[in-house]
Amino acid sequence: MTHQIKKILYATDLSKAAPQFFQYAVFIANQHNAHITSLHVMEEPSQDAILALASYLGKDKSQVMAQKGKGAIEEMEARVKRICFSTPGENTIDPARLTIKVVKGYPEAEILKASKNIEADLIIMGAHEKGFTHTFLGSVAKRVLRRSRIPVLIVPVGR
């Protein structure tokens, strides 16, 4: 039985290694002429953290959260453009085959929900590195891997 990959959900935490992980998503998408949905989940901060930040910045909490969301979207778009349009060939993707989403919530739940909503065929996430030789999965990646009903590709941090 062959499985076609037409829709890929790439989940990112916007870490330094995220561009490397995204390159895998682009490579696989190009191999299968698939669409990528790049998803960043903003965890809801505690009410105390929101109030402290809002009072420090002199804004109400809805303004603080709106700014955080806008900043995340702008950062994702900038990174995607750097990766997609910096070098020709396999590292580029047609913008028509790319969707960028930023949502609020719990990362594991939002990743699984998005994979179902877009009817993804594959989820791609990055792993985090500890020390020199031990690569381990973050807690979000572990939980997504356990609960997902579709294949999940965990990309380790390169050297």
Domains of the chain: 7-155 (3.40.50.620)
Element housing 65 (H / E):
helix 61-86
* Residue from 90, 152, 159 nearest 125 by CA: 152
Residue 132: predicted pLDDT: 36
pLDDT digits (tens, 9 = 90+) for 44-102: 766 776 677 667 666 665 666 666 667 777 776 777 666 656 555 557 888 899 998 88
Residue 131: predicted pLDDT: 40
- Mean pLDDT, rounded, of the chain: 80
* Six-digit token string for 111: 């990743």
Question: What confidence category does residue 135 fall into, taking pLDDT thresholds of 50, 70 and 90?
Answer: very low
Residue 123 has pLDDT above 70, yes or no: yes
Question: What confidence category does residue 40 fall into, taking pLDDT thresholds of 50, 70 and 90?
Answer: confident
Residue 112: predicted pLDDT: 97
What's the predicted TM-score (pTM) here? 0.77
Residue 62: predicted pLDDT: 63
Residue 133: predicted pLDDT: 37
- Is residue 154 within 8 A of residue 145, CB to CB? The reply is yes
* Six-digit token string for 135: 């690569």
- Is residue 75 within 8 A of residue 14, CB to CB? The reply is yes
Residue 146 has pLDDT above 90, yes or no: yes
